[in-house]
Structure 1
Amino acid sequence: MRIARFVHPGSAHAEAGVSWGTVEGPAGASRDALTVAAIDGHPFGSLTFTGDRWALPDVRLLSPFLPSKVVALGKNYADHAQEMGGAAPTTPMIFLKPSTSVIGDGDAIRLPASSSEVHYEGELAVVIGTPARSVAPEDALRHVFGYAAANDVTARDQQRADVQFTRAKGYDSFCPLGPWVETVVDASDLRIVTRVNGEVKQDGRTSQMIHDIASQIAFVSGVMTLLPGDVILTGTPAGVGPIVAGDTVSVEIEGIGTLTNPVVAA
């Protein structure tokens, strides 16, 4: 099931506003062939539909959730660790991105004037569905609501200068997430492809992760409580590189969908 959050144009049941809904239509179909059916309230637990439905092109997709926190893993693919010039960590290396960095499909990545080298990093995002605190790896996947595509946008020059990630990863718009959350998919071996202006830049598989999804959830939940809607970014394959104003970045994940964002100057 694909869960989206969107701005709808209004209906007999509601004024124009923000809703969650299910994206419906054949797998692999173009967006023009998809519809979105509004649900009453939030998508955790049993779903109740309002009866409102729109063609997907007639609504504006937002980030599927506004998480209380985004926890990201660094160097979780060996080939990416190698291209960054360091050894892969033996335990997960985590950092935080603020909730204000989160944007949705179609929203613009805004390049800060203070950086001259901003990179894309296509990633699989894990969305938490139930509170998780100090969970065991064998129980971790029970806390997953679903999966989405993400882009861990990074001011690489500032990352090198600061020797930590907060400024480089924390700018507004530096965490595109979407286009929706897929709740029924085995994420252990999915293809991830990042394109800039249609050209393939990254092409990897989630099976190449050093620390798998269950291990990540167990590790992070041992540090901080994960709440419904929180997001874990699971790392990026090799092939990261720069983006400039005027570019368009797409992160496509097999079985989930494609997240696309234009790049603009600050």
Structure 2
Amino acid sequence: MTRIARLSTPDGPRYAIADGGSWTAVRSLFDHTPTGEDLGPEPPVFLAPVEPGQVVGCSHPTGPDGRSRVQGWQKPIGTVAGTGEPVRLNEWSTRVVAEGELALVIGRRASRLGRQDALEHVLGYTVANDVTTVEPAVDAVFFAAKAGASHTPLGPWIETEPGAPDDLEIVVEVDGEAVRRSSTSALPSTVADILVELTRWITLEPGDVVLTGSPSTDATIRAGSGVTVRIAGIGTLGNPVA
């Protein structure tokens, strides 16, 4: 198992891998050759663990036949934030929710995948908060609802082997109180199924991020709140709300 982070250093952002109780700077997200750089004082400041070319969100609506399907959409990459960065609410929002989700970081170009090899295209997994403006509802394709500043916190790092991705506990806390507890096992679609469906329509490139959807992990947040998403086997993502 490899833990990959993107850290703030005096010389700019650097990728690093966990080495016991410390971090070793490496060449890139995909090349883990040590650079020998000094990463600065402890504790490290974690940035969003990846700079994606695209962020794809998912929901799992039920069709007229009673079967769920994967519905994808794209979130602006400018919404990506790291752990500790404030989620900034829009002044016109009257209800905003956090949504704790498992996120996939793509490791290989992925197009028209089959279920048997879909997971081979995943570099690793991180924690996501798919922040969503619920009220007022202003569009049918989630653009305004999900395009706010820092509305896609990711982090704190990427785990390459967190355990079975379809059975990871997710806990959402607001101001230190656990308000939602679920699991990726509650999603109607498996991680492999999500990738198969999305790559029927789009090609995912290395470093892209896929949000797998909320298994009833939505929690109302307000300015002044602190929201935390924990996923077993990966880590804890925490953000103040401004």
After TM superposition, the score normalised by the length of structure 1 is 0.84
Deviation at 1:96, TM superposition (A): 1.3
Quote the residue 2:13 is aligned against: 18
Q: Tell me, yes or no, if the aligned pair for 1:36 and 1:56 is still in contact at 8 Å.
A: no
Quote the residue 2:106 is aligned against: 128
Question: How far apart are the structure 2 equivalents of 1:205 and 1:144?
Answer: 20
Q: Tell me, yes or no, if the aligned pair for 1:19 and 1:39 is still in contact at 8 Å.
A: yes
Task: Indicate yes or no: 2:114 matched with 1:155.
Answer: no
Matches within 5 A, 1:180-199: 180-186=157-163, 187-199=165-177
**Percent of aligned pairs sharing the same letter:** 39
Q: Tell me, yes or no, if the aligned pair for 2:80 and 2:153 is still in contact at 8 Å.
A: yes
Instruction: Please tell me the residue identity of whatever aligns with 1:224.
Output: I
Quote the residue 1:68 is aligned against: 53
Q: Tell me, yes or no, if the aligned pair for 2:17 and 2:32 is still in contact at 8 Å.
A: no
Instruction: Please tell me the residue identity of whatever aligns with 1:164.
Output: V
Quote the residue 2:151 is aligned against: 174
Task: Indicate yes or no: 2:43 matched with 1:43.
Answer: no
Question: How far apart are the structure 2 equivalents of 1:215 and 1:56?
Answer: 42
Deviation at 1:93, TM superposition (A): 1.2
* Runs of 5+ consecutive residues of structure 1 not aligned to the other structure: 10-15, 26-33, 79-85
Deviations 1:47-96 (A, max 9, x none): 210223557843321111111111111147x9xxxxxxx99762201111
The 1:95/1:23 distance shift into structure 2, 3 A limit, reads same
Deviation at 1:156, TM superposition (A): 0.5
Quote the residue 1:4 is aligned against: 5
Q: Tell me, yes or no, if the aligned pair for 1:121 and 1:151 is still in contact at 8 Å.
A: yes
Equivalences, count: 239
Question: How far apart are the structure 2 equivalents of 1:106 and 1:136?
Answer: 37
Task: Indicate yes or no: 2:97 matched with 1:97.
Answer: no
SS at the partner of 1:17?
coil
Moved over 6 A (4+): none
Deviation at 1:188, TM superposition (A): 2.1
Instruction: Please tell me the residue identity of whatever aligns with 1:171.
Output: G
Instruction: Please tell me the residue identity of whatever aligns with 1:21.
Output: A
SS at the partner of 2:51?
coil
Q: Tell me, yes or no, if the aligned pair for 1:72 and 1:234 is still in contact at 8 Å.
A: yes
The 1:148/1:240 distance shift into structure 2, 3 A limit, reads same
Question: How far apart are the structure 2 equivalents of 1:56 and 1:88?
Answer: 55
Question: How far apart are the structure 1 equivalents of 2:123 and 2:224?
Answer: 34
Deviation at 1:239, TM superposition (A): 4.5
* Runs of 5+ consecutive residues of structure 2 not aligned to the other structure: none
Instruction: Please tell me the residue identity of whatever aligns with 1:7.
Output: S
